[in-house]
Amino acid sequence: MKLSVLIPCYNEIETIREIVGRVRAVDIRLRVRDGKFKLPLLPDGTVELTVDKEVVIVDDGSTDGTRDVLPELAALPDVFVYYHERNMGKGAAVRTAIEKAAGDIMLVQDADLEYDPRDYPALLQPIIEGRSQVVYGSRFLGGPRKTMFFSHMLGNQALTLFTNILFDTILSDMETCYKMFTRAVAEQLRLKSHGWGFDPEITAKILKRGYRIYEVPISYNGREYNEGKKISWRDGLTVMWTLLKYRLIE
Ligand SMILES: Nc1nc2c(ncn2[C@@H]2O[C@H](COP(=O)(O)OP(=O)(O)OP(=O)(O)O)[C@@H](O)[C@H]2O)c(=O)[nH]1
Ligand SMILES: [Mg+2]
């Protein structure tokens, strides 16, 4: 069983080395209650499953020196780096990463340090146990988190509420970066968005195809604007438009 960690990366020279180090440092061993893995049964009726990882970085036309650092990471045996000639947006970078990924399961990992790879085992558990094909890590389910701006929380909640109304569901964090899905789901969705349309497009298509999204609490350490935070309220309008579009078509 292999997990592909997909890292879209644009001008992240301050954090790219560190995040790859943190991703590679997580050792994923799960105790699973399922006989299909043909592993030695432990006294509590579970088996211990080890999940391998690969890291797929797609540099999205960085101009801050990130590209000088990436060859050093590409030399690592489990890290693969691909380059966009020019900046195309997060969605385009994730799509390239999905095309290149070899894993059975995939997860999006931003190149900043807002999300914690130590949450991977919890995210994987429902997929490995066959309870779901898609798992979202939620920042609003009681996990440890740095408090965010009230305005950002409202923005997040508004986009999630809009999603829930359109698709009759009860997500708590549609915009989370931690979206994990099986290869079968990834291949079926045929994503098109280039920029910030990625999260609403993937969510809309998953829900419209009838998959139920599983949510698990994750920790969150949001960065500040002076640390490179770039998102603004205008991006929210793109997100709402994308949700509506994929509710009505496809
Ligand atoms: N901003 C931006 N990020 C990109 C782009 N292409 C790829 N990315 C990567 O996409 C991920 C998410 O970008 P972020 O800017 O962290 O987006 P965010 O977490 O929603 O917003 P902030 O962290 O608040 O700025 C990061 O790993 C970026 O490096 C792009 O064109 N613009
Ligand atoms: Mg970020």
What tens digit of pLDDT does each residue of 68-78 get?
A: 999 999 999 99
Residue 222 CA to ligand 2 centre (angstroms): 7
Whether residue 220 is predicted with pLDDT greater than 80 in this model: the reply is: yes
Which residue's CA is minimally distant from atom 31 of ligand 1?
89
- Residue from 185, 48, 219 nearest 125 by CA: 48
Average pLDDT of span 204-231: 88
Contacts of 206 (CB under 8 A, 6+ apart): 134, 181, 185, 189, 213
Average pLDDT of span 159-175: 97
Residue 40 CA to ligand 2 centre (angstroms): 41
Whether residue 230 is predicted with pLDDT greater than 70 in this model: the reply is: no
| Length of the chain counted residue by residue | 250
Average pLDDT of span 5-22: 97
Q: What is the pLDDT of residue 128?
A: 94
CB 95 within 8 A of CB 56: no
Average pLDDT of span 61-82: 98
Query: Would you place residue 231 in the very low, low, confident or very high pLDDT band (cuts 50, 70, 90)?
Result: low
pTM of the model: 0.95
Query: Would you place residue 229 in the very low, low, confident or very high pLDDT band (cuts 50, 70, 90)?
Result: low
Helix then strand then coil, % of the chain, to nearest 5: 40, 20, 40
Q: What is the pLDDT of residue 92?
A: 98
CB 69 within 8 A of CB 93: no
Residue 12 CA to ligand 1 centre (angstroms): 9
Residue 110 CA to ligand 1 centre (angstroms): 7
49-60: b (≥16 Cβ within 10 Å) or e: bebebbbbbbbb
Which residue's CA is minimally distant from atom 7 of ligand 1?
90
Domains of the chain listed by start with CATH number = 2-147+176-191+210-225 (3.90.550.10)
Which residue's CA is minimally distant from atom 12 of ligand 1?
110
Q: Which residues pair with 216 in a beta bridge?
A: 137
Whether residue 178 is predicted with pLDDT greater than 70 in this model: the reply is: yes
Residue 87, ligand 1, Cβ within 6 A: yes
